[in-house]
Structure formats: C-alpha cells, structure tokens
Structure 1
Amino acid sequence: MNWEMIFGAANSWALLGWTILAFAPKRETVLAYIFFGGSALLACLYAGLIIPLMAGWISDGGPVGRPPADFTQLSGVMALFDSPGGATIGWIHYLAFDLFVGIWIARNADAHAISRWQQIPILFFTLMAGPIGLLLYLLLRLITGKNPDKAMLPS
C-alpha cells in the first residue's frame, strides 16, 4: 500500500476543506459541503484503512518484531504509530476530527455574530493544534460577552 500517497492526498483534501471553511461565504450549505466532503469523507477513509489494518488484511509497512498494536497501553499505541500505515491512519484521524471541530467553531461563531475575520486565527490554531484552537474559541466567546452565562457550553 502506498502510505505516502494516501498521506499526501488526505492532507491536501483537508487543507482544501480548511481553506473553504476560512474564506467561503457564511452559508449553511457551504458548511454542509465541507462537513460531508471533508470530515465525513476523511472519516470514511479512516474507517476504510483502520478496519482492514486491525483485522490483519493489510500491512502497515512497519518494522517486523515490534510489540503488537494495542490501544490499552502506551507501548501498544507507540507500536501502532511506528509504521507508515499507523502514522498515516492516525494523522487522518486528527484531520477528520480537527476539521469537524473547525466546522463547529465556524457554525457556532456565525450563530453568535462573531466575524469570520475573528474566526480565521482561531481556525488556524484549530488546524495546527486542535485543542488550543478550541480553547481559544471558547475564551473568545467568554470575552466577547455573547451569552456569557453559556459561553463555555457547546451550543
């Protein structure tokens, strides 16, 4: 399996979704296209790779003799990421979830009348360091006073 090609294609696809999210007009249909064409498609790619990998139907291209992949111990998770396939699949996981959070931030910010220009730096941080972008957005909601009693709720 060409893990480098899959990695590059997933990265490019996610970046396209982020670019559209940041600069396209604030329309519900645009967000729906980014959700289904971006996050949902990346999630399908993730499922289409992780299931056959965990079932042993495809190789992750990693070194022979390493500990088996195991989500319950650090050494098992490290073993999973110690291969081109494991790192690629893990990265697709990040891409899908971070884009989903970015869509939620944009939709929520639009609903609270936060300008797209204020959203762009937060979306950038969400792309580059997911939880930090989410934290910045929640703090922006708190600071701007848009429903301060509910600013930290995901509504």
Structure 2
Amino acid sequence: MTPDSLFAVSGPIALAGWLALAAGIVFDRPFLRDRVAGLLIPLLLSAAYTVLILIFWWTADGGFGSLAEVQTLFTQGWVALAGWVHYLAYDLFIGAFVSRQIMERKLSRLFLVPILPLTFLFGPIGFLLAQGLLLTRIGDAS
C-alpha cells in the first residue's frame, strides 16, 4: 500500500458523500444529507486521517512553527495524504452542515447551487457564503 493508492481510494469515498448529500437535498431525504453525508462518511475519513497521523506524524520532518516547516511537512507522501483526507472530511462535513442549516430555515434549495460547489472546492468560502446568507436572512420566509 502506498500514499498514491490510498489517495486514489479517498477521492471516490468523498465523492460518494457529496452524491449522498446532493441526493438528500434533491429528494428531501434528511437521512442521506445528515447521517450519510454529514456523519458516516466524514467519520470514515476522520478515522483514516487519525490512523495516518498516528503512524506517520512522529517521523515526519517539519511542523507548524513557520511556513517553511509546513511546506517541509507536506512534502512527505503519507503526511500530505493525511492533510488531503483532512480536507475531504471537513469540507464534506461543512457542506452537510450548511445544507442542513439552509433547509431547516426553509430557504430555497437554489441557494445551495453556488454554496456547495464552493464548499467542495474551497471549503471556507462556501461556509462564509452560507453564513452570510443565514445572517442576512436573505430568502427567509419569516
């Protein structure tokens, strides 16, 4: 097993979560949105991340004390894979979280059209956009 082989598996697992999230939204199935996309798959990815960190963190060069140390840290395949899995888990979790927030507020699901791709590609931007929407109450029925 190599970092590349696990990388090749991690993407489709995350994609399955995003597809479950989309199906949960389109077909109004909270189980898919909240449990599969919002919990089960992020937990699976988080467990993989934990194993990678427990095994490979201690022998890795670099650290978090400076940008140069972070760059060094992520030049190592197993640690870079752990970082990638971290992104996959949290972006999916945030996507499900903001979807749940928007749907519970009874806002139009159309708001999720720009938010979810931005969350998928650039997690904090999608989160920021969703929270801005919720704070300004745009589209709120009340």
Partner of residue 66, structure 2: 73
Contact in 2 for aligned 1:22/1:123 (Cα 8 Å): no
Unaligned stretches of 5+ in structure 1?
61-67, 149-155
- Matched to 1:26, the amino acid is D
* The structure with more helix, counted as a fraction of residues: 2
Provide, for residues 14-71 of structure 1, a one-character-per-residue CA deviation record: whole Å limited to 9, x for no partner: 1111122123333332221223321111100000101110233xxx7xxxxxxx2212
| 1:11-30 paired onto structure 2 within 5 Å | 11-24=11-24, 25-30=27-32
| 1:4-153 paired onto structure 2 within 5 Å | 4-24=4-24, 25-30=27-32, 31-56=34-59, 68-141=61-134, 142=136, 144=138, 146=140
- Matched to 1:46, the amino acid is Y
Q: What displacement does 1:145 show?
A: 5.3
TM-score, normalization by structure 2: 0.86
Unaligned stretches of 5+ in structure 2?
none
TM-score, normalization by structure 1: 0.79
CA-atom RMSD, angstroms? 2.0
Runs of 4+ in 1 over 6 A off after TM superposition: none
SS in 1 for 2:96: helix
Structure with the greater alpha carbon radius of gyration: 1
- Percent same amino acid at aligned positions? 33
Distance in 2, matches of 1:88 and 1:111, equals 34
Distance in 2, matches of 1:133 and 1:127, equals 8
**Worse overlay, 23-32 or 129-138:** 23-32
SS in 2 for 1:37: helix
Distance in 2, matches of 1:82 and 1:55, equals 15
Provide, for residues 114-145 of structure 1, a one-character-per-residue CA deviation record: whole Å limited to 9, x for no partner: 23332132111100011111111122222515
